[in-house]
């Protein structure tokens, strides 16, 4: 199982008169990331450098710092702290002393890493979406098993005399739940997994 942050966290330090403020959030969608970035970019500062990772998807941005000195070190900090579903932004207010490329890498990466190190964490529970089609007479037993497995109902309806349910279920429960549902309905239940993850590809700026 992977881990993410339990909530927002921040860490601030001053390096050679430059002020660095690292902030990090747990994130679950590209829409959520875009909203956080837009909010931060409204704040006045010379550089808002950032990186995020959600599984195999990632992005980073140097925000006009020399290429490779900010965004990538922040992403390396996320990976080094072994967290997922995380956006980290490090804001810099220039203090009049140049840090050089090596100094910038250490400052951005180190500040992000310390911010993430201080954060409380929680385990990410992978969820799956399934669609069930069943006879109305079987719904009592089916609903009981779904509730016991911690499933959440997303939608339901009737089609061709059958009841269909769209459910969100912890992925680790799928195999056992499927077997229980089929047994409870004597094989009458039809089952399909209908996950449709948000479309994006991992890349870098």
- Per-residue pLDDT band for 72 (boundaries 50, 70, 90) equals very high
118 with 34, same domain: the answer is yes
Report pLDDT for 200: 35
Task: Enumerate the β-bridge partners of residue 51.
Answer: 60, 88
Domain range for 156:
127-193
107-151 per-position pLDDT tens digit: 999 999 999 999 999 998 888 999 999 999 999 999 999 999 989
Question: Over the chain, what is the mean pLDDT?
Answer: 91
22 with 116, same domain: the answer is yes
Could you tell me if residue 201 is inside a domain? no
Count up the domains in the chain and report the number. Answer: 2
pTM of the model: 0.69
* Mean per-residue pLDDT, 19-38: 95
């Amino acid at each position: 199982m992977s881990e993410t942050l339990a909530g927002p966290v921040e860490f601030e330090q001053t390096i050679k008169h430059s002020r660095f403020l690292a902030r990090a959030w747990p994130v679950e969608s590209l829409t959520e990331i875009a909203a956080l970035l837009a909010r931060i970019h409204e704040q006045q500062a010379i550089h808002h450098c950032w990186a995020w990772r959600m599984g195999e998807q990632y992005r980073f941005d140097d925000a006009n710092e020399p290429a490779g000195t900010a965004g990538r070190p922040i992403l390396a900090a996320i990976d080094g702290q072994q967290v997922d579903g995380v956006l980290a932004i490090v804001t810099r207010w220039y203090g009049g002393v140049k840090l050089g490329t090596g100094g910038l890498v250490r400052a951005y990466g180190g500040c992000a890493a310390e911010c993430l190190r201080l954060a409380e964490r929680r385990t990410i529970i992978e969820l799956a979406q399934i669609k069930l089609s069943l006879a109305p007479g079987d719904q009592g037993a089916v609903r009981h098993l779904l509730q016991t497995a911690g499933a959440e109902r997303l939608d339901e309806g009737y089609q061709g005399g059958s009841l269909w349910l769209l459910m969100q279920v912890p992925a680790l429960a799928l195999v056992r739940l499927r077997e229980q549902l089929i047994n409870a309905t004597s094989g009458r239940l039809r089952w399909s997994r209908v996950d449709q993850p948000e479309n994006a590809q991992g890349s870098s700026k």
